[in-house]
Amino acid sequence: MGRMYDVKQLTQVANAMFPKVLGMQFKEATKDRLVAEVMVTDDLCTTGRAMHGGAIMTLADFMGASCTMNNVPAGAGTTTIESKTNFVSTAPAGQKVIATTEPVHKGKRTQVWRTTVTREDGKLVAIVTQTQMVLEAPRSAQELLPELFGGKSLAEQKALLAQLERSGAALYRAFAAQETNEEHKKALLRAAEKEEENAVTLEEQA
Compute the Cα dihedral for 37, 43, 48, 51 and give only its sign: negative
> Are the beta carbons of 83 and 130 closer than 8 angstroms?
yes
Domain ranges of the chain: 7-135, 141-201
- Length of the chain in residues, anyone? 206
Residues 6+ away with beta carbon under 8 Å from 17: none
Number of Cβ atoms within 10 Å of the Cβ of 102:
15
Q: What one-letter code names the amino acid at 75? A: G
Q: Is 29 left (phi over 0), alpha (psi -120 to 50) or beta?
A: beta
pTM over 0.75: no
pLDDT in tens, 76-128: 999 999 999 999 999 999 999 999 999 999 999 999 999 999 999 999 999 99
Classify domain 7-135 by CATH number: 3.10.129.10
What was the pLDDT predicted at 148? 79
